[in-house]
C-alpha cells in the first residue's frame, strides 16, 4: 500500500532546473539547486582542496590534504549567549561528530570559519558542517618536571601550522565561504 497520494504534486518531478537556476538568489531558499564551489591550492607544499556546499538547512565545507573527510564537526552560533558591547563575534558551539573529540585545532578552524561567515553575511544562522583533514607538523611541547607518559602527549603549534591556518582561511575566502 502506497502512502503517497496519487494526485499530490511531486516537487522533484515538477521542479524545472532551468527556472530554478534563473531565479537568482531566491533559488538558494529552495531545495534546488544546491550551490557548490570548489578550489585547490598548494599550502606548505601540500595540495589542499576546499569544497563548499550550501544546503537549505546548513553549510557544508570540506578542507582536505588527504582526499578524505578526516574530522567531521558541527559548528553552530550560540543563540543563548547575550552579546556584550565589546563582543564583535557571537560565541560558537562546536561538536565533533567523527574523529578525535578533544583535538582543539579542528575546533579552532570550525569556530573561526563560522564567525567569519557570520561577520560577512549578516543574518546567516545556518550551522556549519566542517570536514577537515590537514597535515600537521607537531612539535612536542617543552615539559617541566617529570616527563610525560606516552599516552598523554602534549603539542604546541608550529610556525608551519600557523601558516597553514592563515592559508586555509584565504582558501575559504577564495571558494566563496565568505
DSSP per residue, 115-138: HHHHHHSTT----EEEEEE-----
Pairing, β 155-156 against β 71-77: unpaired
Average pLDDT, the chain: 78
Angstrom CA distances, 103 to 1, 29, 37, stand at: 49, 34, 28
What is the fold of 30-137+154-175?
Ribosomal Protein S5; domain 2 (3.30.230)
Q: pLDDT, tens digit, for every residue of 140-156? A: 444 444 444 444 455 57
pTM: 0.72
Domain boundaries, the chain: 30-137+154-175
Pairing, β 92-98 against β 46-54: unpaired
Amino acid at each position: 500500500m502506497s502512502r503517497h497520494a496519487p494526485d499530490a504534486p511531486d516537487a522533484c518531478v515538477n521542479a524545472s532546473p532551468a527556472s530554478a537556476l534563473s531565479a537568482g538568489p531566491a533559488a538558494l531558499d529552495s531545495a534546488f539547486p544546491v550551490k557548490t564551489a570548489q578550489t585547490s591550492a598548494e599550502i606548505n607544499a601540500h595540495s589542499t582542496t576546499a569544497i563548499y556546499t550550501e544546503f537549505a538547512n546548513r553549510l557544508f565545507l570540506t578542507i582536505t590534504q588527504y582526499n578524505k573527510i578526516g574530522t567531521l564537526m558541527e559548528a553552530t552560533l550560540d543563540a543563548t549567549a547575550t552579546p556584550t558591547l565589546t563582543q564583535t563575534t557571537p560565541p560558537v558551539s562546536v561538536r565533533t561528530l567523527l574523529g578525535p573529540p578533544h583535538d582543539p585545532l579542528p575546533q579552532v578552524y570550525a569556530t573561526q570559519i563560522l564567525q567569519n561567515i557570520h561577520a560577512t553575511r549578516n543574518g546567516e544562522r545556518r550551522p556549519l558542517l566542517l570536514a577537515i583533514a590537514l597535515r600537521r607538523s607537531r612539535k612536542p611541547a617543552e615539559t617541566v618536571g617529570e616527563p610525560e607518559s606516552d599516552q598523554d602527549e602534549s603539542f604546541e603549534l608550529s610556525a608551519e601550522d600557523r601558516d597553514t591556518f592563515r592559508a586555509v582561511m584565504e582558501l575559504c575566502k577564495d571558494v566563496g565561504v565568505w
